[in-house]
Amino acid sequence: MGRPHVRRYFGRKLLIYGLTFVVAVTVNWMIPRFMPGDPVASMLARARVSQPAAVEAMRTYYTNLFGFDQPIWQQYLNFWGALFQGDFGISIWVFPTPVADVILAAVPYTLALMIPSVLLSYWVGNRFGAFAARRKLLDNTVLPVGYILTATPYMWLAVILAWGLGVVAGWFPVAGGYSFSLQPSWSWEFFLDLLHHWILPFLSLFLVALGGWAIGMRNMIIYELESDYSNYLSALGAPSRLIRRYAYRNAILPQITGLALQLGVLVAGALVTEIVFSYPGLGSLILKAIQNQDFFLLQGTFMFIVIGVLVANFLIDIVYVLIDPRTRTGMAGAQA
Amino acid sequence: MTTTTTLPTEERVVRREALYFAVRNTKLMIGFGIVLFLLLVGIFGPILANVEDPNEYVAAAMLPPSSEHWFGTTTFGQDVFTQFVYGLRTTFVAGALGGGIAAVIAMVIGFVAGYRGGWVDEILNMLTNVVLVIPTLAVLLIINAYLGIRSVGVQALFIGLTSWPWAARSIRAQTFSLRNREFVDLARLSGMTTRKIITREIAPNMSSYLFMTFILLFGGSILIASSLDFIGLGPTEGVSLGLMLQNSTQWSALQLGLWWWFVPPGAGITAVVGALYVANVGLDEVFNPKLRET
């Protein structure tokens, strides 16, 4: 029962994600070509080669890489072709490693930071917010702290934590994904070292995101507690614990949509936090790409981030359908 | 406009009532107070500091805060307080411009989609959803990396162009609920153009909502701009709070223990954005009678 609705819901979502992907790829293709300035010239300037013959050879090489000598529609099709072969070009920063390899080596670090911090801050924040709503004393502390945390720039909290707990207290290392004295291996020693380096960036991401979820949930719960069904339940003499449980179930739905909306901000937060801690994920990669004018690496990272965000959005959509019974039976509920 | 003969007095009463609750709302007063104070510092600070270039080397390096250098000096001997007041100004400009551009786009798209409905709505909605899903900062990274010379204005322009979707969505929903109200029907019957109906009938009826949306976009723009600055894609000239943070971490202020270099810029951003958010909650309570604490 209600299957066609679910199919329509997902069909619409997939259409949006497909369109988004096409737009992202097109933007990625257009920017180097239509921005003022010549990317080939700036890359050549960076290489600082003095022999004219060498400069000419490099110019031909880069022009071929971009495919500037072909008609514009051909360039566009080639771009898509290369993308589907997983070819993102060659990195200039770590020449001649393919960009895809450089990125794939960094992705696990970013995911290891993001997935636990996002899920945990979401869960704890929602619990906190729901618990604080309509409880005077807690509310008066959770609300201001929450607002300060959401207003904090990710990198600043990271800097403060690195300075306080890292440099001054000396409890945690403030740079890198693992100690330079260690080689990556499947040993306990290496794992503990990884964990030791992971804690501060994780904590920083966790804390900044926490505030927003707590505030959002608190406001939703208050709204739900004022609704007719809550009043009716309390008029019937239902225990307030029960009413709060119903309110929580209703309030969690907009919070799931909120999670999807926040994905971009969360990714941005992870990137700058990684830069503060020189954590070897995508953020540090982006910094290196910018410092070295490595446009292929930068654009490859952009594609990876877009794909990651689209996949995460789709997963959230699935969770939404699983949690909200209305989308299953085709009554109101989630809209694309 | 035959319907508005009684409106002026009624409007005045509503306004007076809003003002009455506004000055009694502590959240609003504290929030706007902090924003106003920092705004004045950002406006008059640079005038009083009266230096040609806030990045000038004016004193010995790495001095802790003193009566002469309120926020101390950097590893290069730049005065942190001078940089702070100039940076505050840049931050406000980035927020106002970026938030303003985003608000205008969001209003145009939200009003048209919500009022027109039908296929116009379908297309605009699709556009909104697509821009909504794309991670904003990642797009801004690519754009700014290819821009050779970057200015606050261009930075704010691109922030505005990418951060409007959620606002457009909520304005569309609000417009949708106003569209079939009697006074809008009446305006339509009297032959007003769509543009007039939107600007004269619909927008004024959700002006408080629009103002609050602008405040949130303003705060959001400041945070995005500071992230861009921190990654190294800030304005190529001048100083901003994000650039100060970037410089302090890049030149190991952490390891050298120069806390006066990296604490003020971050605290400044947090204070501006946090105060805006708190003021926003206050405004919500002023405009929405249900939320008022009596």
pLDDT in tens, B39-53: 999 999 888 877 777
Report the top-level CATH class of A99-335: mainly alpha
Contact between A167 and B242 using a beta-carbon 8 Å cutoff: no
The whole-angstrom separation of Cα A273 and Cα A154 is: 6
CA neighbor of A38 nearest in space, from A68, A17, A10, A64: A68
Is residue B232 pLDDT above 60, yes or no? Answer: yes
Answer whether B270 sits within 8 Å of A151, measured CB to CB: yes
Q: Which residues of B touch A264 (CB under 8 A)?
A: 134-138
At B66 the pLDDT is 82
Q: Is the pLDDT of residue B68 over 70?
A: yes
| pLDDT tens column, A211-253 | 999 999 988 898 888 889 998 998 998 888 899 889 998 899 8
In this predicted structure, what is the pLDDT of residue A38? Answer: 65
Is residue B181 scored above 80 in pLDDT? yes
8 Å CB contact between A59 and A39: no
pLDDT higher at B19 or B289: B19
CB contact under 8 A, B130 and A23: yes
Residue B1 pLDDT > 50: no
Residue among B126, B135, B142 whose CB faces A31 most closely: B142
Whether B256 contacts chain A with CB within 8 A = no
Residue A199: alpha-carbon gap to chain centroid: 18
What is the reported pLDDT for B35? 95
> Within its chain, how far is the Cα of B179 from the centroid?
28
Question: Which of A26-30, B55-59, B154-158, B211-215 is least confident?
Answer: B55-59
CB-based contact, A54 to chain B, within 8 Å: no
For the record, the structure tokens of A97 come out as 């490693």
Give yes or no for B236 touching A (CB within 8 A). no
Rounded CA-CA distance B196/B115 in Å is 12
Task: Tell me the residues of chain A between 198 and 237 that have a Cβ less than 8 Å away from chain B.
Answer: 226
ipTM: 0.87
Measure CB to CB from residue B232 to each of A37, A150, A290 and give the nearest one: A290
pLDDT at A334: 46
Of all residues in chain B, the percent with pLDDT exceeding 90 is 46
If one counts every other C-beta atom within 10 angstroms of the C-beta of residue B116, the result is 15
pLDDT at B8: 62
pLDDT of the residue at A47: 61
Residue B23: count of CB within 10 angstroms of its CB: 10
Contact B139/A302, CB-based, under 8 Å?
yes
Residue reference for tokens 């990669």: A285
- Average pLDDT of the segment spanning B82-105: 94
Please state, rounded to an integer, the average pLDDT across all residues of chain A: 85
A268 and B224 within 8 Å at the Cβ level: the answer is yes
Q: At A50, list the tokens.
A: 């003095």
Q: Report pLDDT for A21.
A: 93
pTM: 0.89
Least confident of A53-57, A75-79, B84-88: A53-57
pLDDT bracket for residue A10 (50, 70, 90):
confident
B155 close to A (CB below 8 A): no
Residue of A147, A313, A314 for testing the chain B interface, max B β-carbons within 10 Å: A147
pLDDT of A106: 93
Chain A residues touching residue B132 (CB < 8 angstroms): 261
- Mutation for testing the A interface, residue in B216, B230, B290 having most A CBs under 10 Å: B230
Question: Residue B93 has what pLDDT?
Answer: 94
For residue A141, give Cα distances in angstroms to A70, A284, B53, B271.
Answer: 63, 35, 42, 17
Mean pLDDT comparison of A77-81, A166-170, B158-162, highest-scoring range = B158-162
Give CA–CA dist A217/A121, Å, rounded.
Answer: 12
Is B130 in contact with A309 (Cβ distance < 8 A)?
no
* Distance (Å, whole) CA B206 – CA B197: 13
* Residue scoring higher pLDDT (B17 or A18): A18
More confident residue, B273 or B255: B273
Question: How do residues A246-293 score in pLDDT, each as one tens digit?
Answer: 999 889 988 998 999 899 999 999 999 999 999 999 999 999 888 887
Nearest to A31 among B143, B148, B265 (CB): B143
pLDDT at B40: 94
CA A14 distance to own-chain centroid: 20
pLDDT recorded at residue A232: 92
Give the residue with greater pLDDT, B285 vs A276. Answer: A276
Residue B243: which pLDDT band, with cuts at 50, 70 and 90? Answer: very high
Give bridge partners of residue A98 from the DSSP assignment: A90
Which amino acid appears at position A7 of this protein?
R
Find where tokens 């990317």 sit. Answer: A39
Q: CA A210, CA A120: separation in Å to the nearest integer?
A: 9
Amino acid at A207: L
pLDDT of residue A74: 83
Counting one residue from chain A and one from chain B, the pairs whose CB atoms sit within 8 A come to 162
Confidence category of residue B4, pLDDT binned at 50, 70, 90: very low
Interchain pair B266, A153: CB under 8 A: yes
Q: What is the distance, to the nearest Å, from the Cα of residue B181 to the centroid of all Cα atoms in its chain?
A: 31
Measured between beta carbons, the chain A residues lying within 8 angstroms of B278 are 144, 147
Q: What is the pLDDT of residue A335?
A: 46
pLDDT value for A333: 46
3-state per-residue secondary structure call for chain B? CCCCCCHHHHHHHHHHHHHHHHHCCHHHHHHHHHHHHHHHHHHHHHHHHCCCCCCCCCCCCCCCCCCCCCCCECCCCCEHHHHHHHHHHHHHHHHHHHHHHHHHHHHHHHHHHHHHCHHHHHHHHHHHHHHHHCCHHHHHHHHHHHCCCCCHHHHHHHHHHHCCHHHHHHHHHHHHHHHCCHHHHHHHHCCCCHHHHHHHHHHHHCHHHHHHHHHHHHHHHHHHHHHHHHHHHCCCCCCCHHHHHHHHHHCCHHHHCCHHHHHHHHHHHHHHHHHHHHHHHHHHHHHCHHHCCC
User: Packing angle between helix A154-161 and helix A188-225, nearest 10 degrees?
Assistant: 130
Residues in chain B within 8 Å Cβ distance of A291? 232
B-interface mutation test, from A27, A155, A226, A277, most B Cβ less than 10 A away: A155
Say whether residue A290 is in contact with chain B using an 8 A CB cutoff.
Answer: yes
pLDDT at residue B207 tops 90: no
Structure tokens at A320: 């939404």
Residue B79 pairs in a beta bridge with: B73
Closest Cα partner for B277 from B218, B199, B232? Answer: B218
Pairwise CA distance, residues A311 & A270, whole Å: 17
Taking contacts as CB-CB distances below 8 angstroms, the residues of chain B near A313 are: 133
Query: B16, exposed or middle or buried, with CB in 10 Å at 0-12, 13-18, 19+?
Result: exposed
The answer to whether residue A325 scores a pLDDT higher than 80 is: no
Q: Give the per-residue pLDDT at B294.
A: 46
> pLDDT digit string (tens) for A93-135?
777 788 889 999 999 999 999 999 999 999 999 998 988 887 8
End-to-end CA gap in chain A: 20
Q: Among residues 197-226 of chain B, which lie with CB inside 8 Å of chain A?
A: 219, 223-224, 226
Average pLDDT estimate for A304-310: 93
A170 touches chain B (CB under 8 A): no
Q: Which of B146, B233, B270 sits opposite A31 (nearest CB)?
A: B146
What average pLDDT score do residues A35-44 get? 66
Confidence label for A39 from pLDDT (cuts 50, 70 and 90):
low
| DSSP character at residue A179 | -
Nearest chain B CA: its distance from A186 CA (Å): 31
| CATH number, domain B17-43+70-291, options 1.10.3720.10, 1.10.10.10, 3.40.640.10, 2.60.40.10 | 1.10.3720.10
Q: Do A259 and A59 touch, CB atoms closer than 8 A?
A: no
Cβ–Cβ gap B126/A20 under 8 Å: no
Distance between CA atoms of residues B66 and B159, nearest Å: 37
Confidence of residue B2 (pLDDT cuts 50, 70, 90): very low
Could you tell me if A82 lies within 8 Å of chain B, comparing CB atoms? no
- Cβ separation of B270 and A305 shorter than 8 Å? no
| For range A302-307, the mean pLDDT | 92
Over residues B186-196, the mean pLDDT reads: 88
Please answer yes or no on whether B266 and A167 come within 8 Å at the CB atom: no
From the CA of A208, how many Å to the nearest CA of chain B?
11
Q: Which residue has the higher pLDDT, A291 or A36?
A: A291
pLDDT at residue A25 greater than cutoff 50: yes
CA distance B277 to chain A (A): 7
| pLDDT range class, residue A1, cuts 50, 70, 90 | very low
